[in-house]
Chains A and B, each alone.
Chain A
Amino acid sequence: MNLAACVLLYGLVVAVLGPPLLARASRRGATPRLGIAAWSAAALSVVGSWVLAGGLVAAEVWRARDFTEQLVRGCAATVGVALTGRYGAAAQTGVVLLAVLVLSAGVLGVRFGSSLLRARRDSHRHSDAARVLGRHEETTADVVVLDAPERVAYCVAGRPATIVVTRGALAALDDAQLEAVLAHERAHLAGRHHLLVVISRALAVAMPRLRLFTTGAAEIARLVEMCADDAAAHRHGGQTVAGALLALAGASALPAPALGATATGVVERVERLLDPARRARATASQLAMLVSVVLLLVGPALGTILLELGAAMCDMAV
């Protein structure tokens, strides 16, 4: 019971303290990959701690009641008996806690899963539609050109995944810039960034009150862009990528969202691309992020082991 509470508390602490600390460390985007790892590790760690806590409570309930009797009486009866407190207060609270956990886990799971499936279905549909309606370039099989004046370039997951460029975007980019844009989008596809984005977004949809997931989704979306920028800059130069960003960010770019302006960091990306030092500089924040990634991933397991050891030693002392 104590262990489950500790693990839950750990999850709570990470969920509360994680976002401001991680946001500060990953803000400058020196190494976006590390930032993505840190946010993912935090999310994984929190979700993992909940699952672990659930498992521990379940194990507690399992241990506290008589196994053979349970088989005879059936599950419902045993739960009923446990609720009356005959197996002790631990089992009683355990059953209630378990029920609450299972119920909320179920609700969250359904929200998370349906969000994932919807994103997948709609993305594949969009990819299909782009392939039917777009014009294929002979030289680049994975790219389709849409006949539209707006300046837009993006990629969308599907079978196969598709890179979409509008006629307006083609007109605005020179050859080198177009290559840089395509390299950027290909880096998204090669790095499976859409998976990261979709999963983090689904977590944010399932738990919209937790900043770890809402801020995390926004940060991951921002950081994967920088990641792809770096890949493109590596091959075509930061100047070219920045030039492409500026060329597509003109007046006929995407309109600002209706509900409040979300900063997607276009300015930041341009500044970053024009100043290679900002990309390469090794900073204290990077080290902090690296340490936090390791701690987040190893922490819960290590804590559990230490607590179990402690408990065993206490038993021996008694």
Chain B
Amino acid sequence: MAVRGFGELEAVVMARLWAGGGTATVREVFEQLRVEREIAYTTVQSTMDNLFRKGWVVRERAGRAYRYQTTASRAEYHAGLMRDALGGGDDSAAVLTHFVGQMSEEESVRLRELLDGRTDRGPR
């Protein structure tokens, strides 16, 4: 299983797919990308293959090539990500180490008192 981390290229390809209505062939993405960067067709192909294996896109045969389709819109992915990030995603076991964790009402009150106490004394 040679699943490498999410490279910059994968993000670029996903952005292209979403911008283009969520569906494209490798050739179409390649033609768009080659305008702005030096890139090989096979690189785009393997990138999209990775995206398929990771579940970001599905594909179906269209003649001799595959036509790729995003599995969800950017907004849907964003909503899911934020749900996880805010601690509402019970279906995800992702371990996120938050700078400020969840706080109880008591803690918020005490924190506010602490803050007020400090500003009274002046900064530093």
Contacts and interface: CB of A to CB of B under 8 A. Distances in A.
A249 B11 contact: no
B87 interface: yes
B106 interface: yes
Contacts, number: 160
A154 B81 CA distance: 13
A159 B6 CA distance: 7
Contact of B87 (A130, A160, A193, A257): A257
B10 A132 contact: yes
A128 B107 contact: no
Q: Give the one of A156, A198, A265 with max B CB within 10 A.
A: A156
Contacts of B110: 267
Nearest to A127: B6
Interface stretch (B19-27, B32-40, B61-69, B89-97): B89-97
Interface in A143-161: 146-148, 150-160
A239 interface: yes
B102 A256 contact: yes
A148 B77 CA distance: 13
A300 to B, nearest CB: 29
Contact of B54 (A128, A201, A249, A256): A128
Nearest to B119: A246
B91 to A, nearest CB: 9
Contacts of B118: 274
B94 A156 contact: yes
Nearest to A224: B97
A193 B86 contact: no
Contacts of A282: none
A201 B97 CA distance: 13
Contact of A249 (B6, B85, B111): B111
A256 B105 contact: yes
Contact of B85 (A152, A184, A255, A263): A152
B100 A126 contact: no
B93 A115 contact: yes
Nearest to A153: B99
A88 B109 CA distance: 67
B5 interface: yes
Interface of A: 115, 118-119, 121-133, 146-148, 150-160, 164, 166, 181, 184-185, 188, 193-194, 197-198, 201, 224-225, 228, 239, 244-246, 248-249, 253-257, 261-267, 270-271, 274
Closest 5 CB pairs of A and B: A261-B104, A159-B5, A264-B101, A128-B6, A122-B94
